[in-house]
Structure formats: C-alpha cells, structure tokens
Chains A and B, each alone.
Chain A
Amino acid sequence: MSPFIKRAGIPLIALLLIFIVPQVLGKFEVSLLNDIGIAALVVLGLVLVSGIGGALSFGQAAFVGIAAYSTAWYTTTQGGSPWMGLVLGLVLTCGSAWIVGAITMRLGGDYLALSTIAWGLSVPILFANLPALGSHTGIDGIPAIRIGGWELDQSGSIFILIWLMVGGGGWFAWNLLRSRTGRSIRALRGGKVLMASFGADAFRLRLTLFVMASAYASVAGWLFAHANRFVSATPFSLHASVDYVFMMVVGGMTQLASALLGSTLYIGLNNILQDVLPYISSRGAQVNALVFSVLFLIILERLPGGIGRPLNRLVSRLLRRRRETLPDAPPLSMRKMPERGVPVLNVQNAVKRFGGLVAVNGVSFELRAGEILGLIGPNGAGKSTMFNLLTGTLPLTEGAVRFMGEPTAGLTQRQIALRGVARTFQHVKLRPAMTVLDNVALGAHARGRCGLWRGGLRLNREEEARIMAEAMRQLERVGLADQAYELAGSLALGTQRLVEIARSLASDPLLIMLDEPAAGLRLLEKQALAKLLDTLRSEGVTVLIVEHDMEFVMNLVDRLVVMSFGGKIAEGKPAEVRADPQVQAAYLGSDE
C-alpha cells in the first residue's frame, strides 16, 4: 500500500462508512452500533490509563454517569443547550477525576483501584437518592442534539455523531501514543525511577491520563444521554465499570484497537445471549450476568492478553513494519558544555545510614569535565548506595553533593536528571515492546516541549522529526543504527546496555553515570562496550562508572575511587590504585 493511500484513503473510507451505514442497516442494528460506539469511547480512555498507563480504574461508568446526568439535568430543568451540557459534563468529570486521582495516585496502584471501586459504587447511589436528579426514576425527556438546523433525534443521525466522535477520539489517542508524551506514557510501566531518569514525572503523567480517560467517558456519557433521551442510575453501576474493564481485557488492553474489538465482542455477545437465554432459563438476565463473569474469569486465567493479542501478532506478521527513512531535521538545542577540567560533580563527606547500618561512610571525591572516573569496590562496598545518593534516588544522611556547583540536597531524581545527569541501569530498563529507536528517543524527552495537545493533534511534527533524528544520531554513535526498528526486548543483554547508553546520550547530558555496565556481559560484549566508552572519552563526554569488575575499568578510566565497607580506601590513577596494598587486601582478602 502506498503511503498516500494509507494516509488519505483509510479516513475517507471510514468517513463514507459512517454516513452510509445508517442508511443501509435497520434501526435495531444501528442502535446496537451506537451502543458499541459509546462503549468504545469509554474503553479508549481506559486503554490509555489502565492498559497502557498501568493505573487500573473501576470508576469509568461513574464518569459516564456524571456526564450523562449533567447534560440531562442541564437540558431538562435549566432548558440549556446540549452543547453547554457537554461542557458542563466535561468540567465535572475531569474535575472529579483530577481530585480522585490527585489524592490516590501518590499512594500507589492498588489505592487508585480500590478508591475507584468505592467511587464507582457511591456515584450511582448518589444519583438514585438525589431528588434533584429524579431519584430512582431518573430523568427523561432529554432533548436531542442539534447541529445548526439538523436535529439528531433518530438513531441513524446520532450514529453519525457517535462514530465521528469515536473516530476523532481514536485519532487523537493514536497520535498521542506516537508523540513525545506518548512515548513516556508507553514507558510508564517501567517504573518511576526509569521515568525520572529521563526527566518525566510519572505521577503527573498518570494523573493526566486518568483525567483524559474521564474526558473520553464524559463524551460517551453525553452521547448516551442524548441518544437514549433518558438516564437512570442503573447503567452507571460498578457492574458497568467492570464491564468496561472486561471489554478492555478481552480486546487486549495495550492496543487502542482493543477498544473497538472489546466493545463489539461484549455488546454483540450480550445481544446474542439476551436472545438465547430466555429459552434456557427463566432467569435470563441473571444468568446473562453470570455467564459474562465466568467468561471474564476464564479469559483472565487462560488468555491474559485477551483476544486482541494473538490477533495483533497475526496482523503485525502480515504487515511487516517497513523501515521509515527519517526526514532531515535540524538538531535539537544543546547545553553549553563545561570547559575540560571544570569540576562537574563534587562529593563532600557523604554519609548514608540505614538505621544502624552505615552503608556509605564519609566518602569525598571530585569529578571534572571530560574525564572518566571509575568508582569500584568489592561486593557490599556501598557502591550502589553511593550511586543512588548521586542520582537522588536516596537522600543523604550527612554531607553534600554538588553538581555544577549547585547542591543537590532536596532535589528529586527527576530534577537532578533535568540538570544534565543521565544514567543507565544495572538491571537494564528498556521498554521491551517499544522499538530501539523509540527507547532512545525517550532519552531526548526533556529536550522537547510538545505536550498532550500538540501531540494528539499532530502539531508536533517539526519537533518530532528533530527528536527522532537525534535518537538516530545517538544510535549511530553507539553503532546500532541498523537495529533501530527492532523491538528492544529482542536484543541481547550487551546490545541492550549500548541502547541504554544511547538513550542517556540523547538527553545531551553533562554527566553520564553508568551502573555496573559490564555486569552479566560476555567477553566480546565487554570489549565492544569498552571500545564505545573509549570513543566517548575522546569526544569529551564526562562519565562516572560504578563497577565491580576491576579488569574492565582498569584500561578505561582516567582515575579510580575505591570503596570498601562504605569508606573510601584509595583514589588515583589506575596503576597507583592497583599497587595499593589496601586495595589488594580489599579485593583479595588479607592475612591479618
């Protein structure tokens, strides 16, 4: 397929379908498709926040309900326009989502899930007990939406609006996931430390996603109210929220298309069951709910990726990803590098105590621009703790760390990363399902400005091209340009380490910190890594290597700091350190 047909043809066909389908199909089928479209909108949001973002929400039906009731109340009792009802619904759902998210997300994943269960239970109770909202009888007589002089009062006409919304919502989410913000969204499941290492704020991003998912639910609720012209509390119960989770899981949770797949399967099956069950049991409706629950359990236990995953694998095998040629783009703005020899990192008498255990005991050293410093020591010497102190993962008990003359005490990991400290991880943290290029582009996150809106609306193309060009440049630098489009998870460990280094280079760092880069590598991989680091040194990059493999660092670094039992026992050129009897004793044991 030529890219032109792909770019223009598919939306055109979809648009044609949206206008043709309601003319062709019967009223019943159209209203079934309306239900599917409304559910798909909710699940789209849920896929973003839960499936991809990893924050599980059991409250989506409540958000749908809030929006549906807002517009119902506003248009019937206040006589307002449905469009203002939409705005009111958006304000209320996004506002409440922001509050719920802000107070629960800091506490970790399970709290959001539990709180949204409580939320999903309480909100419908509120609807059913507020006389202003019609209590148990609900609100009817909701007017139809009008666009100019066109009244959407038939299932066929509202169909067009619903599916335009689904198309628009899907397009926005699709663009978003391919943008700078989207890459960090896809990295969310890698954990907070990974996010902070390239300057992204996991908490804020998840909160944004949660609010965004509630906005999708809000649009769905608005359409629901004006399509059915009646609202009551039942369709917004906790059961409905769990049904949305069901649709997401069935569809395969990490792909946007699963929203469409899941809602179609669910509503289609539900419809079939409603026809069939009355013949089998006198309690059809109850058995129906039971069948779905059992089915959901079986899918969760036997097919945790849902039906979407095998399907997706099949599709991606058919449509082998073609190598895109990146457009030429001007480079991203760069930091002013310090002059060679200027102190970059200064550690004064660093102490870290865990209760009674002193892990780092009064260590001081300095790192100057353009040099490679090795921090070595046997197992348990306190190297990793030192590393965590420098990156801000742990706070110092005593002493001071200065980066470019500025004390880092009180700065978060993310703030330290934003000041120009890039790092790699001992246990490689790449996102296995993202391409190598996307993983490296994550490193350039802090150098871009385009956010949610520009990403979703594709107003970010110029910046995006510069970020991808930068990522490719760093991949070339580490010699992996020809593997740019492979999935990071398919690479060998040694190659993954190189990708991590490319990612840290992409942030245009003043200092790169490598956490045990040689651990677990084979000899050839170690040699390749050493060669790369040697090249970087000749290019003037400042590097701190924390390593326990003495041989690996010996020929590589300008200076060594040796730690043992939390204290610094030696510092100097590799040859001097090697000759130091204390170091030999620490590494080989002594006879004393």
Chain B
Amino acid sequence: MDSNIAMILLADGLAGSAIYLIIGLGLALIFSVTRVIFVSFGSVAVFAALSLGAMEQGQLPAAIELVGFFVVVALLMELAGLWRSRAWHRLPRVLFYWVVLPFVPCGLAAWATSQESEIIKVAAAILVVIPLGPLIERVALRPVAKASVLALLIVALVLDFVLSGLGLLWFGPEGLRTHASIPGTTALTSNLIVNNQTLLTIAVAFGLALVFYIILQRTHTGKVLHATASNPVGARLVGIRPAFTATVAHIIAALLAGIVGVLISPVATIYYDSGLMLTLKAFVAVIIGGMSSYPLTALGALLVGVSESFASFWNSGLKDAIVFGLLIPILVIRSGLVPQRDDNEEEGDV
C-alpha cells in the first residue's frame, strides 16, 4: 500500500466516519429519550436512499406505500383508543396528525419524481421518510414503552426485520446507487483527488453535529428532550408527555436517517437490508462513547470509519467482521476502566 492509496482510503474512511457520527447522534438521542436501542435507524436511511434511486428512474418511491401501510395501522390503533375512551371529539386531530401530515411529504415526493432537479429529489427523499419515524414509534414502540431495555431491544430488532421485509416486498431485491448530489472531484493536493460527495458528507456531519449540540443545549424542545432523558418521572411531573418527546425524538432521528440515506447512496450500493449493518457499526462507535459522551462517540465513529475503509482494502468480504472485532478491545478497556456497575435493578420478566 503506497501513500496515495492510504490517503484515498483515509478520505473514504473519514466520509464513513461522518456517516456513523450522524447515525450515532440519532441512536444516542432515541436511546436517551425512550431507552430503545433503535436498530431500525439504518433501515429508514435505506428507504431514503432507495426512494431517491426510484425517483431518479422516474418511478414513484415505494416509501409512499410504506408510509401508507403504517398510517393504516396507526390509524386503526388510534381509532381503537378513541373508541375505548369514547373521545370522538378528538377524531379530527387524530386524522390530521396521523393521516394528513404523513402524506404531505409523500405528495411532495410524487411531485418531485417528475421534476428534473436532483436537489429537489434529494430533498423529497429525505422528507418522505420522516413520517416513518413517528409512525413506527406509534405502531410498534409505544405499546411496549414501559418494558425493560432488553425487551425493547428484542422489539427493535424484530421491528427491523419487519421493516427490511417490507422493504424487500416493495422496493425489490435489487441494489442501487444514486447520482452524486454534487458530482465531480476536488484535488486537495497534487496527488490526492477526492470526490465532492466525500467532502459534502464530512461537511454535513460536522454541521449536523454542531446544530444538534446547539438545539439540545439552547432551545426549549432541546431542554424538554434533555429533561425526559435525564429524569423521565420528573419530566412527567412537570407536564412533559413522554409520548410527545418520543415522537419528537423519532422525527429528528428520521430526518437524520434521511440525510444519511442520500449521503451514502452515491458512494455505496444500497440493498433493502443494508440498514442493520449500518446501524450496528454506528453502535460500535456509540459503545466507544459509552452511550452518552458525544466527543467519545465522534472518536468512535472516526475509529470505525477509518478501520472499515482500510479493512475493505485488505479483505472486503471480512470488513464487517473486522469492524465488529474492534468491539473486543474496546469492551475490554471499558470493563477495565469502569468499575463494575452496581445496577441493583430488579428485572421483571421480559
């Protein structure tokens, strides 16, 4: 391996790190607010990528069908709730939030399909998956919100199988790549030429990390999320509804997932089931950060992205196994550093 190849691998690795950082931000957000290890994050990203690909080929993205499916289930559940509590006056609200709002971005996507501009399509692909976040939360996670972390993990993992199954059914088994949002290359030095897409990915990740930090620290919604994360009971006592914060967290996460999807699809072939691998690799980064520290998560993302890039040069078949192999030294260090956790939590049945 000469230094040129090394530099190229490093640049690719940095772009990968940027992706894992964004996913890591979303995972940490959802985990802290709802205690769910949201394995389906990557699948939502994949749906954005596949939608963009479909729109580029002039087809209606199947994400619309997916949203439609979840709207039907969510509506049935909401109606059942209304029927039980005899609160039919809330019907217009329910219809607005669970039917009208989710279909707005779908309409947008349908319109964008006929447009020429790549930017509009990219924006539509990001927007069309946003309703999936709160819908998935409503349909699959809210009914078990009070379960133990491990039960929630089983639910999340199975949920991801459902999502990738639906993805296979509606998007089909073919993998695809999309056009680069910003085509072309930039010569950083005379012998290092980098895709503009790579630079864009890194820039977006930095931007998002910054915005994320500011939103969580400064805005009212950020404080509400923060409060729920650090003390759910206390948050409820001061009038914050957990269902509301969960919805907000899932909307933000779905937005992040959409961005990840359109950033990654020009540089990697995306299949309906690529999502789980994406999420889990980002999880290696989050575990390095101990599920809470943002700077350490960023460091973890850097480690995962760069080692994946170099591993794929060495043996592309084994690169995923190599990245997960990173977990071993990390966990050894963590279990050495952190004193044995005295979680005296009495666990109920899952």
Give chain A's interface residues, CB within 8 Å of chain B. Answer: 54, 56, 58, 103-104, 106-111, 113-115, 117-119, 121-123, 125-126, 128-129, 189-194, 203, 238-239, 242, 245-246, 249, 253-254, 283, 286-287, 289-290, 293-294, 296-297, 300-301, 304-305, 393, 429
Given A107-B335, A114-B287, A118-B284, is A289 in contact with B324 using a C-beta cutoff of 8 Å?
A: no
Give Cα A117–Cα B350 distance, bound, in whole angstroms: 18
Q: Is the CB of A254 within 8 A of B343?
A: no
Q: Is the CB of B340 within 8 A of A106?
A: yes
Q: Does chain A have a CB within 8 A of B209?
A: no
Give Cα A305–Cα B328 distance, bound, in whole angstroms: 33
State the interface size on chain B (CB cutoff 8 A). 51
Q: Is the CB of A125 within 8 A of B318?
A: yes
Q: Is the CB of B158 within 8 A of A305?
A: no
Cβ contacts A to B, 12 pairs, < 8 Å: A103-B328, A110-B37, A115-B331, A118-B284, A122-B321, A122-B324, A125-B317, A189-B347, A239-B161, A242-B158, A249-B154, A290-B162
Q: Chain B contact residues: over half helix, strand or loop, or mixed?
A: helix
Q: Is the CB of B161 within 8 A of A293?
A: yes
Given A297-B159, A297-B162, is A56 in contact with B321 using a C-beta cutoff of 8 Å?
A: no
Q: Is the CB of A121 within 8 A of B277?
A: yes
Residues in A neighbouring B174, C-beta threshold 8 A: none
Q: Is the CB of B169 within 8 A of A290?
A: yes
Given A110-B153, A129-B315, A249-B154, is A283 in contact with B349 using a C-beta cutoff of 8 Å?
A: no
Q: How near does chain B come to A66, taking the closest CB pair, in angstroms?
A: 14
Q: How near does chain B come to A274, taking the closest CB pair, in angstroms?
A: 16
Q: Does chain A have a CB within 8 A of B157?
A: yes
Residues in B neighbouring A245, C-beta threshold 8 A: 154
Output the nearest chain B residue to A431 by Cβ-Cβ distance: B346
Output the nearest chain A residue to B290 by Cβ-Cβ distance: A107
Output the nearest chain A residue to B317 by Cβ-Cβ distance: A129
User: Among A108, A109, A129, A193, which residue has its beta carbon within 8 angstroms of that of B318?
Assistant: A129
Most B-side CB within 10 Å, residue of A192, A297, A304: A297
Give Cα A471–Cα B3 distance, bound, in whole angstroms: 72
Q: Is the CB of A113 within 8 A of B150?
A: yes
Total A-B residue pairs with C-beta atoms closer than 8 Å? 143
Q: Is the CB of A192 within 8 A of B343?
A: yes
Give Cα A395–Cα B327 distance, bound, in whole angstroms: 31
Q: How near does chain A come to B225, taking the closest CB pair, in angstroms?
A: 21
Output the nearest chain B residue to A295 by Cβ-Cβ distance: B158
Give Cα A249–Cα B349 distance, bound, in whole angstroms: 11
Give Cα A40–Cα B162 distance, bound, in whole angstroms: 25
Residues in B neighbouring A393, C-beta threshold 8 A: 342
Give Cα A189–Cα B349 distance, bound, in whole angstroms: 9
Given A54-B347, A125-B318, A287-B169, is A300 in contact with B154 using a C-beta cutoff of 8 Å?
A: yes
Residues in B neighbouring A122, C-beta threshold 8 A: 320-321, 324-325
Give Cα A126–Cα B325 distance, bound, in whole angstroms: 11
Residues in A neighbouring B158, C-beta threshold 8 A: 242, 246, 293, 296-297, 300
Q: Is the CB of A305 within 8 A of B345?
A: no
Contacts beyond the supplied A286-B168, A293-B158: 9 A-B pairs with Cβ under 8 Å: A109-B343, A110-B37, A113-B153, A189-B347, A239-B161, A242-B161, A290-B165, A300-B154, A301-B140
Q: How near does chain A come to B154, taking the closest CB pair, in angstroms?
A: 6
Give Cα A54–Cα B153 distance, bound, in whole angstroms: 13
Q: Is the CB of A429 within 8 A of B346?
A: yes
Give Cα A296–Cα B162 distance, bound, in whole angstroms: 10
